[in-house]
């Protein structure tokens, strides 16, 4: 459905996107995962025909992003990085506007957006600018769907939104996927990668890897330990001083630690730390999360 | 105190590193001074006049050559008895006609006095006043000098002044057309210039671009509502001018509204063009205000007569749209002329509108960069 | 008994008839890392602005760094630091110029400033970037610099408004290393964030919902109280309860 081949793009001296190639299958929920500056927005704008790449080709639904931009603009729904609807129009008015721009009506495709729109329908006469973050998201999504697009492109739809709204949003995306829409999403939140069919990990304009989240985790070959003690702050300092530690990073309640050459046993860590007077100590091995995978790739 | 100095230092750094601020502080005052200096001159030179000399005797010829050698006047037409004086003014060929009656010298010697009639186009009362007073002054000067030589007292040559189209020399007759042009120009251009820039700034443009809307639809869609609203504005100004200030509408009202419509269309198109190049609202407003208001006030002939300006500025004034519109309105309202006399100016406005719209559509970026 | 650096009693902030902060009551102790959480629109930013002296309460008592927020606002501002995602340092000035400017504001002598600046650059490994414009630096460096400048004058409390938004995972953690160091130095850190794993790093956490504080305790106690395994789930339980 989406084909990207050796796309590159720079602004002034900054290389925003560097030789990126990937394919998204019809009906997939595909994630572009990476921090600010990874090139996610630039790549999406190229796919949305809003920017022209310096090198490379891409097609959306079989149409070339440079030559056939008019046709692409008819079949794709877009939710750009920040709230881009009309703040001085009401919820209803925004939705109607986009329906007419796409030569359809709200009624025609209402069943597609019903689950989403129903949550903001009580506020339909409120000005869009006065909605909360979560509601703005839902409105933007509804407007992007109103013309029954084949492909949905969402640029960081969950950034700056609280954890509850984020979960709800992904729930909505899953339901849309069931209706056969191909979805391309970008996010800086690593945990959201697990909710996608496949992901591309991106950093500084390049793709680090592309695969299903499970395979990415499987391919992580390092031995990873979770370590916890009563004094977490001192724990991390002590571990970093230990010559057998390769990396030690905070991951919420636990530290994720790798040993040099992956040959360090859990007991070795335990002994060292007990000698350092850590108590309520826990050391055990764990499978990696996408974040561990990403950070490992960053270091390499 | 140290805090204050630290803050000062930071401010200077910001200023010197921002090219825009530097232009405002240094560039604009210089430009303004040059413009104002050159434009605001109440002196006249080479004003176009016609002379109707029904006597062709020594005295009239001497007065005529004095007038013409002063440098203030340029003879454009020698009129004959029976010529339509009105037409010469209506066509805008001359600003003043000097009328010597028949048997001028003889009447002067016989009766001891005679009149020279000065007819001036007072649709621009300032210029009319200046021209007649200069001419009057030259003629009286002649009288004085001749008196000292050979004409005996109490021979006098009296100057009779008639102001055409604006007997009362009401400056409002001059202002209302000018203000109308200025207001319509500014408001129309500013409104549309902000419109597209606002969408760019807020980010809503991104979504519009990614939709099937065509640039033509977007541009026309933005112009049309303002067209209707500005038209109402124009109507209001004209009505105020007529009923509150007593400015007449001697010509066709429909023609007046038609030309106003055209002018508004031109101004809106100009606004859209500005909008396609300005990245945000502030820049758009800045360009509209500075780029349009100042030239309109100074160079359009609104207040300062164009012919008094140095030649380069006169040429520049040709590309300032209000200049043409002011001529049109003055003609229709004060002189009562029809389309036959203002077709040239109308064509210019039509041409400008087309150009701006075409450029806007061409400039309108269908992509983000 | 640890010293209180922030004391809030019955803080109310209204905008017209909308109550953004509804009778907030809490204390923050010296050297704590205090997490201030809540959904967007819950009233976090409003409350934080009041604590920083950027906005006045409608009613209630507020003391920050021992000074009354109504009567001694200037003294409050001298004793706190502030860093937000939107603004940190002036992009068109160099690191040195920025430090010089902020030192001037907070009354740090040139001699102290030079010493501290060298130390700061060495700690962050940024000696080579001393004369680079901030705008030319990568985001991760900007973050760290912004934080260091915010605490340059050794304030009693530093307020951080979502400092790690959009930053890569490694830089995020390095940033929290800096927070820990500051806390070790005795600087109290008041931080808001949307990353629930970061909530775990705090000594105590408060969760706001619709203008009120729904929960305030250590992460451990909160997890026990709600019978869940991590802060993410605590947050979900609290937010979902209200719906």
Chain B neighbors of A96, CB-CB under 8 A: none
A19 pLDDT band, cuts 50/70/90, is: very high
Q: Please indicate, yes or no, whether residues B154 and B198 belong to a single structural domain of this protein.
A: no
Is C236 domain-assigned? yes
CATH of the domain at B158: 3.40.1710.10
Residues of B with CB under 8 A from a CB of A: 202-204, 206-213, 366-369
Pick the residue of A41, A84, A87, A140 with the most B CBs within 10 A to test the interface with B by mutation.
A84
Residue C194 pLDDT grade (very low, low, confident, very high; cuts 50, 70, 90): confident
Residues of A in contact with B202 (CB under 8 A): 84, 87
- pLDDT tier at A59, thresholds 50, 70, 90: very high
What's the Cα-to-Cα distance from C97 to each of B246, C81, C237, rounded to whole Å?
64, 18, 47
Q: Is residue C230 part of a domain?
A: yes
Of B2, B14, B17, the CB nearest to C104: B2
In a domain, C11, yes or no: no
- We report the CATH number of the domain holding residue C108 as 3.40.50.300
Are residues B135 and B213 located together in one domain of the fold? no
Please tell me the predicted confidence (pLDDT) of residue A24.
96
Tell whether B157 and B77 lie within a shared domain: yes
Residue C8 within any structural domain of the chain:
no
Residue A202 carries which DSSP code? Answer: E
Q: Which domain holds residue B25?
A: 2-39
Same domain, yes or no: B220 and B347: yes
Give the mean model confidence (pLDDT) for residues A249-255: 90
Domain that holds residue C232: 31-53+81-242
Split into its structural domains, chain C has a count of 1
**Residues of chain B with C-beta less than 8 angstroms from the C-beta of A45:** 368
ipTM of the predicted structure?
0.81
Give the pLDDT band (50/70/90) at residue B337: confident
* Cα–Cα distances in angstroms (integers) from residue B266 to residues B217, B272, B346, in the given order: 18, 10, 11
Please provide the size of chain A in residues: 300
- Residues 6 or more apart whose CB falls under 8 angstroms from that of B240 comprise none
C20 found inside a domain:
no
Same domain (yes/no): B204, B289: yes
Of B164, B191, B226, which residue is a domain's last?
A: B164
Contact A227, A259 (CB under 8 A): no
The predicted-structure confidence for C46-71, as pLDDT tens digits, reads as follows 899 899 888 899 999 999 999 999 99
B295 and B311 together in one domain: yes
* Domain stop point among B164, B195, B226: B164
Q: Given the structure tokens 């609807």, which residue do they identify? A: A85
**Confidence grade of residue B41 (pLDDT, cut at 50, 70, 90):** low
Residues B160 and B183 in one domain: no
Q: Which residue of B has its CA nearest to A104?
A: B212
> What per-residue confidence (pLDDT) applies to B154?
54
Instruction: Give the DSSP letter string of A22-61.
Output: EEE-TT-EEEEE--TTSSHHHHHHHHTTSS--SEEEEEET
- Does B159 lie in the same domain as B229? no
- Counting as contact any 3 or more CB pairs under 8 A, the partners of C are A, B
Please tell me which residue of chain B has the smallest CA distance to C96. B10
- State the SS3 of B76-134: EEEECCCCCHHHHHHCCCCCEEEEECCCHHHHHHHHCEEEEEEEEECCCHHHHHHHHHH
CA–centroid distance for A225 within its chain: 26
Average pLDDT estimate for C167-184: 90
Q: Do B191 and B147 share a structural domain? A: no
Q: Say if the Cβ atoms of A133 and C41 lie within 8 Å.
A: yes
In terms of Cα–Cα distance, which of B270, B249, B239, B214 is closest to B329?
B249
Assess if residue C108 is contained within a domain. yes
C85/A contact by beta carbon, under 8 A:
no
B310 and B187 within one domain: yes
> Which residues sit opposite A201 in a β-bridge?
A33, A209
Q: Which residue on chain B is closest to C100 by alpha carbon?
A: B6
Q: What is the pLDDT of residue B149?
A: 62
Question: What number is the average pLDDT over the span A183-201?
Answer: 93
Buried b / exposed e along C190-224 (16+ C-beta atoms within 10 A): bbbbbbbbbbbbbbbbbbbbebbbbbbeebeebbe
Nearest to B213 among A50, A69, A101 (CB): A101
pLDDT tens across A24-48, in order? 999 999 999 998 889 999 999 999 9
- pLDDT digit string (tens) for C19-41? 999 999 999 999 999 999 987 77
Domain assignment present for residue C69? The answer is: no
Task: Check: CB of residue B179 under 8 Å from CB of residue B172.
Answer: no
CB nearest C104 (choices: B3, B13, B17): B3
Work out how many domains chain B is built from and give that number: 3
Residue C14, domain member (yes or no): no
Q: Which residue of A has its CA nearest to B204?
A: A84
Nearest residue of C to residue A299, measured between CA atoms: C170
Q: Identify all chain C residues contacting A294, using CB atoms and an 8 Å cutoff.
A: 169
């Amino acid at each position: 459905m989406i084909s990207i081949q050796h796309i590159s793009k720079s602004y002034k001296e900054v290389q925003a996107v560097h030789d990126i190639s990937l394919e998204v299958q019809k009906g997939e929920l595909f994630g572009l995962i990476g921090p600010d500056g990874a090139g996610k927005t630039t790549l999406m704008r190229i796919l949305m025909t809003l920017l022209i790449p310096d090198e490379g080709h891409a097609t959306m639904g079989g149409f070339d992003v440079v030559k056939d931009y008019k046709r692409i603009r008819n079949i794709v729904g877009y939710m750009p990085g920040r709230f881009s609807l009309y703040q001085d129009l009401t919820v209803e008015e925004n939705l109607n506007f986009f329906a007419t721009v796409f030569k359809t009506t709200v009624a025609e495709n209402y069943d597609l957006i019903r689950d989403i729109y129903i949550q903001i329908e009580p506020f339909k006469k409120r000005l869009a600018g006065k909605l909360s973050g979560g509601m703005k998201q839902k409105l933007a999504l509804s407007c992007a769907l109103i013309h029954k697009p084949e492909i949905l492109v969402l640029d960081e739809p969950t950034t700056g939104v609280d954890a509850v709204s984020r979960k709800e949003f992904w729930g909505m995306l899953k339901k849309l996927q069931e209706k056969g829409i191909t979805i391309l999403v970008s996010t800086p939140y690593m945990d959201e990668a697990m909710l996608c069919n496949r992901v591309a990990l991106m950093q500084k304009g390049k793709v680090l890897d592309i695969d299903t989240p499970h395979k990415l985790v499987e391919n992580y070959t390092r031995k990873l330990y979770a370590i916890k003690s009563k004094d977490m702050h001192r724990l991390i300092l002590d571990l970093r001083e230990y010559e057998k530690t390769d990396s030690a990073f905070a991951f919420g309640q636990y530290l994720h630690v790798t040993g040099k050459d992956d040959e360090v046993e859990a007991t070795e860590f335990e002994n060292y730390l007990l000698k350092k007077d850590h108590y309520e100590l826990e050391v055990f091995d764990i499978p990696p999360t996408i974040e561990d995978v990403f950070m490992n790739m960053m270091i390499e | 105190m140290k805090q204050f100095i630290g803050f000062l230092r930071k401010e200077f750094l910001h200023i010197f590193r921002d090219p825009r601020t530097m232009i405002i502080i240094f560039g604009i005052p210089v430009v303004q001074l040059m413009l104002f200096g050159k434009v605001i001159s109440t002196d006249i030179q080479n004003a176009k006049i016609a002379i109707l000399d029904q006597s062709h005797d020594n005295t009239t010829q001497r007065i005529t050559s004095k007038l013409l050698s002063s440098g203030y006047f340029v003879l454009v037409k020698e009129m004959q008895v029976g010529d339509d004086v009105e037409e010469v003014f209506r066509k805008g060929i001359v600003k003043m006609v000097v009328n010597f009656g028949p048997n001028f010298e003889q009447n002067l010697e016989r009766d001891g006095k005679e009149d020279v009639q000065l007819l001036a186009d007072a649709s621009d009362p300032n210029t009319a006043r200046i021209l007649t007073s200069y001419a009057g002054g030259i003629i009286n000067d002649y009288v004085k000098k001749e008196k000292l030589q050979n004409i005996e007292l109490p021979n006098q040559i009296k100057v009779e002044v008639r102001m055409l189209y604006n007997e009362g020399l009401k400056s409002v007759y001059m202002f209302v057309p000018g203000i109308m042009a200025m207001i319509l120009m500014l408001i129309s251009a500013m409104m549309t210039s902000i419109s597209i820039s606002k969408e760019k700034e807020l980010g809503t443009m991104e979504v519009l671009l990614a939709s099937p809307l065509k640039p033509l639809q977007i541009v026309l869609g933005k112009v049309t509502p303002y067209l209707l609203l500005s038209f109402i504005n124009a109507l209001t100004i004209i009505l105020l001018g007529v009923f509150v200030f007593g400015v007449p509408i001697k010509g066709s009202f429909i023609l007046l509204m038609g030309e106003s419509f055209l002018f508004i269309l031109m101004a809106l198109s100009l606004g859209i063009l500005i909008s396609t190049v300005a990245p945000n609202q502030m820049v758009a407003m800045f360009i509209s205000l500075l780029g349009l208001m100042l030239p309109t006030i100074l160079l359009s002939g609104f207040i300062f007569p164009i012919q008094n300006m140095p030649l380069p500025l006169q040429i520049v004034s040709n590309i300032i749209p209000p200049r043409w519109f002011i001529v049109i309105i003055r003609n229709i309202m004060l002189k009562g002329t029809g389309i036959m006399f203002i077709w040239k100016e109308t064509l210019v406005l039509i041409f400008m509108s087309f150009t701006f719209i075409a450029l806007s559509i061409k400039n309108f970026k269908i992509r983000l960069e | 008994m640890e010293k209180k650096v922030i004391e809030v009693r019955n803080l109310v902030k209204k905008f017209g008839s909308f109550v953004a902060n509804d009778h907030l009551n809490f204390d923050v102790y010296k050297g704590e890392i205090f997490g201030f959480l809540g959904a967007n629109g819950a009233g976090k930013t409003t409350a934080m602005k009041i604590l920083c002296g950027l906005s006045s309460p409608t009613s209630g008592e507020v003391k920050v760094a021992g000074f009354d927020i109504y009567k001694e606002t200037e003294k409050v501002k001298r004793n706190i630091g502030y860093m937000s995602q939107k603004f940190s340092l002036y992009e068109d000035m160099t690191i040195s110029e920025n430090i010089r400017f902020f030192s001037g504001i907070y009354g740090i002598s040139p001699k102290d400033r030079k010493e501290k600046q060298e130390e700061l650059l060495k700690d962050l490994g940024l000696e080579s970037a001393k004369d680079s414009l901030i705008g030319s630096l990568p985001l991760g460096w900007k973050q760290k610099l912004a934080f260091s400048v915010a605490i340059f004058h050794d304030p009693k409390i530093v307020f951080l408004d979502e400092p790690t938004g959009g930053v890569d995972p490694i830089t995020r953690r390095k940033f929290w290393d800096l927070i820990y160091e500051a806390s070790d130095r005795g600087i109290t850190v008041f931080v808001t964030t949307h990353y629930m794993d970061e909530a775990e790093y705090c000594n105590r956490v408060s969760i706001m919902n619709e203008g009120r504080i729904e929960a305030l305790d250590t992460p451990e106690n909160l997890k026990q109280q709600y019978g869940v395994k991590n802060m993410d789930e605590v947050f979900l339980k609290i937010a979902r309860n209200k719906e």
